[in-house]
């Protein structure tokens, strides 16, 4: 027996270690349920082990991140300012254009809100967000996890949605006191409820092993076209409704799941180059104050534009109206009061021009007309 053990000592150690881990895997696969009836990502013991691993690495990740951030900040703040003035002018033009677009959409939005109120539709507005920096990754391309520099101490909780100004990027998985795991949309274990924006077809978005994002629970439908926008449906209780996700990149039969289609989505946010993200920490049923103010401003701009359009119509029908106001394309209002166009008088007096003919008592019958 002793000779057997000493002879196969190496193999026995390997077998014992592998067997122990296989049993541990079997235990971890059965995930505990949480109070909401959902499934926790990890059991309690697994979370503790993961916390240890993350705690060992994240301080170094933060140091590396902030030191590189300082270098980039110096570069972008002082060296890379060559074309800032030009960019500023372009951005101001773009902002003006966006304001006009916003005003154009304000009426539709107001109408939509009125209809939602009539139908007692419960819309969820983003109430509060926490900005977080990406400090590290899982280090494996089979596990699309990023680490954020904020944790439960900053109000983060598991399953909170994470977005960028471009669109949805994922949700929080494990949250530790000062660090959190962000599970990206393109991870194989990730999912989200979505709607195709124009056809209003609902689907479930999933990540794949090769890092792409697909909807693969829809059958072939001629209405689904490439280039169509995809937004969140809100049905998964994680992502608020209406957030941009991406556009349909390709549609092909899914060989693994016939007769379903593999609809590949190109995410609006660049998932491979995330620097800063917003974690949605709160939603509410009524529109936030800031958004209400923006909507009011947009309404005012829309009303202003309507008045301008009315003035333009008047100016078009009465070409002299512009000269009377002394401007072209006038705003049509001064201090909120609409301007009534006045005739400046004819350039070449004729018999139809008011005040042009001399008084009747000065006219002599049969005499030539005055020049």
Partner 1 sequence: MAEHSYTSRRELDQYGFNSAVALLVPLGCILLQAVLPKTFPRLAIFDLPLIVVIFFAVARRNPIAGTITGTLVGLFQDGLTNHPFGVNGIAKGIIGYAAASVGYAVDVDNLINRIVLNFGFSLLQSGLLYLIARLLLGDMTARLLPVHELIRAVCNAALSVPVFYVLDRFKSRD
Find out whether 217 and 259 touch, Cβ atoms under 8 Å. no
Shortest distance, position 110 Cβ to partner 1, whole Å = 42
5 near partner 1 (CB under 8 A): no
The 326-365 site mask, x for binding partner 1 (CB under 8 A), equals ----------------------------------------
Q: Per CB under 8 A, which of residues 98..127 are in contact with partner 1?
A: none
Nearest to 264 by CA among 212, 229, 223: 212
Alpha helices by DSSP H, listed for the chain, are 2-7, 9-29, 44-74, 84-118, 289-317, 321-325
7 near partner 1 (CB under 8 A): no
Find out whether 281 and 130 touch, Cβ atoms under 8 Å. yes
Span near partner 1 by CB under 8 A; candidates 112-120, 142-150, 237-245, 297-305: 142-150
Nearest to 230 by CA among 206, 255, 211: 206
Nearest to 47 by CA among 66, 37, 34, 61: 34
Name, in order, each residue with C-beta under 8 angstroms of 163's C-beta and a sequence gap of 6 or more: 129, 169, 243, 269, 277, 278, 280
Shortest distance, position 201 Cβ to partner 1, whole Å = 23
Among 22, 79, 118, 119, binds partner 1 (CB under 8 A): 22
Burial bucket for residue 332 (CB in 10 Å: 0-12, 13-18, 19+): buried
Among 7, 38, 64, 105, binds partner 1 (CB under 8 A): 64
Among 111, 142, 198, 334, binds partner 1 (CB under 8 A): 142
If one counts every other C-beta atom within 10 angstroms of the C-beta of residue 345, the result is 13
**Residues comprising the chain, all counted:** 371
Span near partner 1 by CB under 8 A; candidates 122-130, 182-190, 259-267, 303-311: 182-190
173 near partner 1 (CB under 8 A): yes
Under the rule (CB under 8 A), what is the footprint of partner 1? 9-10, 13-14, 17-18, 21-22, 24-26, 28-29, 41, 46, 49-50, 52-54, 56-57, 60-61, 64-65, 68, 134-143, 145-147, 173, 181, 183, 187-189, 208-210, 272-273
């Amino acid at each position: 027996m002793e000779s057997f053990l000493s002879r196969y000592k190496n193999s026995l150690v390997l077998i014992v270690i592998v067997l122990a881990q296989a049993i541990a895997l079997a235990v971890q696969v059965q995930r505990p349920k949480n109070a909401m009836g959902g499934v926790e990502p990890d059991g309690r013991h697994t979370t503790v082990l993961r916390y240890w691993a993350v705690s060992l690495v994240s301080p170094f990740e933060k140091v590396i991140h902030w030191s590189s951030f300082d270098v980039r900040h110096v570069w972008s703040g002082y060296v890379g300012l060559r074309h800032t003035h030009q960019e500023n002018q372009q951005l101001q033009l773009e902002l003006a254009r966006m304001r006009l677009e916003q005003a154009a959409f304000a009426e539709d939005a107001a109408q939509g809100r009125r209809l939602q109120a009539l139908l007692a539709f419960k819309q969820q507005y983003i109430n509060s967000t926490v900005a977080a920096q990406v400090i590290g990754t899982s280090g494996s391309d089979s596990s699309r996890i990023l680490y954020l520099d904020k944790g439960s101490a900053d109000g983060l909780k598991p399953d909170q949605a994470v977005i960028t100004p471009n669109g949805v990027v994922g949700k929080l998985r494990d949250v530790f006191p000062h660090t959190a795991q962000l599970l990206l949309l393109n991870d194989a274990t990730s999912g989200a409820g979505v709607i195709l924006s124009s056809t209003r077809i609902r689907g479930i978005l999933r990540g794949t092993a090769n890092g792409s994002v697909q909807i693969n629970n829809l059958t072939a439908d001629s209405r689904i076209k490439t280039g169509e926008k995809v937004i969140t449906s809100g049905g998964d209780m994680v992502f608020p409704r209406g957030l941009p996700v991406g556009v349909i990149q390709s549609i092909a039969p899914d060989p693994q799941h016939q007769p379903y289609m593999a609809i590949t989505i190109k995410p609006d946010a660049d998932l491979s180059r995330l620097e800063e993200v917003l974690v949605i920490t709160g939603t509410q049923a009524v529109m936030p104050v800031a958004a209400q103010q923006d909507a009011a401003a947009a309404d005012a701009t829309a009303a202003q534009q309507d008045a301008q359009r009315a003035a333009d119509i008047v100016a078009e029908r009465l070409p002299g109206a512009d000269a009377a106001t002394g401007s072209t394309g006038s705003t049509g209002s001064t201090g909120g009061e609409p301007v009534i166009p006045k005739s400046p008088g004819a350039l070449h007096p004729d018999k139809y021009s008011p005040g042009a003919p001399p008084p009747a008592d000065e006219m002599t019958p049969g005499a030539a007309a005055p020049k």
